[in-house]
Chain A
Amino acid sequence: MSKTLSKFEYQELVEKKAPGSRTVRNVLAAFVTGGAICSVGQIIMMIAENYGADKETAAAITSISMIFLGAFLTAVNIYDNISKFGRAGALVPITGFSNSIVSPAMEYKKEGYIMGVGAQMFLIAGPVLVYGIFASVIAGLVYFIWKQVI
């Protein structure tokens, strides 16, 4: 009894629905997921501050905790589902960074502890650290030169 669509009708339907509505769905999911993850971070930060940590210490405790959570949830196969739902909302926070470390390391564990886990951990984290640290050194050099000129 199901209505069959001609090839043309189907294609029209896909074109009408696919890119636009998928983007809207993804954007909403990313907002909610990213917002929720950052809220967890905020709660951890407020707890740390409550216990007398200064701003810098509280921020460091938050980073460490979020990285731990991201790695743990990846290891127990929960973070994958969060990513599937939340897309960039799960990718952009620091939890996504630790997910990018654990996920390939898990997959390549069978290739051993050195070239499997040890190397694959940095499949994505490696480039992030390379470009991040490189950019910071350039920033430092520019700032140093600027200070000499002024």
Chain B
Amino acid sequence: MNEILKAFVLGGVICVIGQLLIDLTKLTPARIMVIYVVTGVVLGYFGLYQPLVEWGGAGASVPLTGFGNLLAKGVIKEVDNSGLLGAFTGGVKASAAGITAAVVFGYIMSIISKPKIKN
């Protein structure tokens, strides 16, 4: 139960930062998403994001910064394992499940959906 509460609080706070960026800076949602992923890569690279994942679990891994963190962690691991080649394989390797799920489920759901008629 405690773990769920921590995920709620941390996930909520990370989303609040995004909301403040939207309301106070007029950044578009697409830009927020890009900023979040890139920020996740930077924080992940310097090892600053992993403590959040340890503390808040899904509260840190479900937001898009968590996707960035995964990319950074993957690339570091692969550079350690296979040198320069790892810079090209590590990121996508670590996030393969998410990227593939997004493509496959995104496609299936788009196909079976009925476009909205309202408006």
Contact = CB atoms under 8 A, between A and B. Distances in A.
Interface size for chain B: under 10, 10 to 19, 20 to 34, or 35 or more residues? 35 or more
Interface of A: 19, 22-23, 26-27, 29-39, 41-46, 59-60, 62-64, 66-68, 71-72, 74-77, 86-89, 91-98, 100-102, 105-107, 109-110, 113, 117-118, 121, 124-125, 127-129, 131-133, 135-137, 139-144, 147
Main secondary structure of the interface of B (DSSP, over half): helix
A127 B32 contact: no
A75 B106 CA distance: 9
Given A42-B59, A92-B64, A102 B106 contact: yes
B105 to A, nearest CB: 4
Contact of A93 (B4, B9, B64, B103): B64
Interface of B: 3-4, 6-16, 18-24, 29-30, 32-34, 36-38, 40-42, 44-45, 56-59, 61-64, 66-68, 70-72, 74-76, 78-79, 83-84, 86-88, 90-92, 97-99, 101-103, 105-113, 115-116
